[in-house]
Amino acid sequence: MKRNGVKHDFPISLYERSIMVSRSDALIEASRRAQRKNSLLEFGILLPALIFYIAFVIFPLLGGFFYSLTDWNGVSGNFNIVHIQNYGMILKDRYVLEPLMNTFIYAFATTILLNLFGLAMALGAERVCFGKNAFRTLFFIPSVLSAIVVGYIFNFLFSSVLSGVGKNLNWPAMANNLLGDKQYALAMGILVATWKGAGWYMVIYIAGLQGIDQSLYDAADIDGATGWKKFRYVTFPLLAPAFTINMVLAAERAFKEYDLVFALTGGGPGRASELISMTIYNESFTNKRAGYGSALGIVLFLIIVAITLFQMKVLRGREDNARD
């Protein structure tokens, strides 16, 4: 007799078969029960976080979306539903489009610079023979400082130390404080953000570098690859996952930036360095247009989601190519 591809020398009686079936049913049932119990336990562990997430993320998001459809001024107990009128106004409001453009410039520049410097610092810190940890710590410290504190410190540096340097260099814009010059204020914000954040991205790149198999470099050495070629054909492709994370996070954070630029320039002079997050705040709280401010918040959210998805698609493709 052959059963399940195994030849048995003796037949199994119906009784024995029924016992086996009932036993396997019981085992399956027990395993399901255990699985259900595990799922319940996992859900129970997840529940507090889920409750907080719903209360502090989903609920305000839905609330923000609701208010974006109203003309609420942030003070009154009454408001009217204006449907998508706020969204329509955004498209032709140059006092919103200008800060939005500043935000795109800021996000583009900081994303590039943070990754460039983060990677350079990671490679440098990994290569030094002595004081590797000291360098890593030194580079990482600015990223643990409060953005507000960094903003105020640099504000002071620009108005005193760098102003003195500008006087010596006979460069009036620097001598009179670069933060007060409409041409340079946003650029200075980008530079300070890079100084503050690059260390954080360096850590991710260091983790990526440490995951690269040394034998690949040995093989490249045998093939006579130079330092640049090793970086171009070994290091950089294999850093793809770290690169993806860093690019996505840098862009997302840049679009949400508020505190650093607020402390540094306050969005000025005029609106030269105003980012969209500041416009959202000003419209909501200063101009008493909470409905319009909420609509701007939702638009910013959608921009971030769209850019993140686009980056993920492009960079994941690059990761796949690197793996191939």
Partner 1 sequence: MKRIDIDTFVIYTVFIKKPHKTYDFKRFRKERSMKKTLTILLCAILVIGTFLGSISVATAEELSGSFHILAGVTSSLGLKAVFAEYQKTHPNVEMDLVTFETVTDFETLMTTAIASNTMPDMYIHQLSSVTTQYAQEGYLMDLGAAGVMDQLIDGDTSLIKYNDWYFAFPMTTAVSVTLCNKDVLDSLGIELTVDNYPKSMDEFIALLQEVREKGIEYPYGIAGADASSCTAWPFQYMYQVIYGKDPNFYANVLKGEKTWDGEEFRGMFVDYDKIREYVSLDSTAKNMDSLIGDFIMGKTVFYNHVGTGVKNIHVMDPDINILLLPSSFTADPADQTIISGFDEAFSITTAAANPELCVDFLKYCVSPEGSTIFNDVTGYIPTTKGCTSHVDPAYDIVMQVMQAGLLPNSPILSRQWIAGYKELLKSGCQNWMAGESVDSIVTSISEQHTRLMDADPEWVQNFLSSYQWK
Instruction: Report the nearest approach of partner 1 to the CB of residue 141 (Å).
Output: 25
With respect to partner 1, which residue has the nearer C-beta, 136 or 289?
Answer: 289
Contact between 237 and partner 1 by CB under 8 A: the answer reads: no
**Contact residue for partner 1 among 61, 97, 140, 180 (CB under 8 A):** 180
Contact between 271 and partner 1 by CB under 8 A: the answer reads: yes
Q: In this structure, is the dihedral angle defined by the CA atoms of residues 176, 179, 181 and 184, taken in order, positive or negative?
A: positive
As a whole number of angstroms, the distance between CA 44 and CA 121 comes to 42
As a whole number of angstroms, the distance between CA 181 and CA 210 comes to 43
Contact between 137 and partner 1 by CB under 8 A: the answer reads: no
Contact between 282 and partner 1 by CB under 8 A: the answer reads: yes
**Contact residue for partner 1 among 106, 117, 154, 158 (CB under 8 A):** 158
CA–centroid distance for 114 within its chain:
12
As a whole number of angstroms, the distance between CA 117 and CA 115 comes to 6
Helix (H, G, I), strand (E, B) or coil at 304: helix
With respect to partner 1, which residue has the nearer C-beta, 17 or 167?
Answer: 167
**Contact residue for partner 1 among 159, 212, 245, 259 (CB under 8 A):** 159
Contact between 270 and partner 1 by CB under 8 A: the answer reads: yes
Q: Which stretch binds partner 1 (CB under 8 A): 22-30, 204-212, 231-239, 262-270?
A: 262-270
Within a 13 Å sphere around the CA of 318, how many CA atoms are in the beta-carbon half? 17
> Are 301 and 61 contacting, i.e. CB atoms less than 8 angstroms apart?
yes
Q: Which stretch binds partner 1 (CB under 8 A): 17-25, 137-145, 223-231, 269-277?
A: 269-277
Instruction: Report the nearest approach of partner 1 to the CB of residue 289 (Å).
Output: 5
As a whole number of angstroms, the distance between CA 158 and CA 172 comes to 13
> Binders of partner 1 among 92-131, rule CB under 8 A?
93, 95
Helix (H, G, I), strand (E, B) or coil at 3: strand
With respect to partner 1, which residue has the nearer C-beta, 264 or 300?
Answer: 264
With respect to partner 1, which residue has the nearer C-beta, 147 or 239?
Answer: 147
> Are 264 and 148 contacting, i.e. CB atoms less than 8 angstroms apart?
no
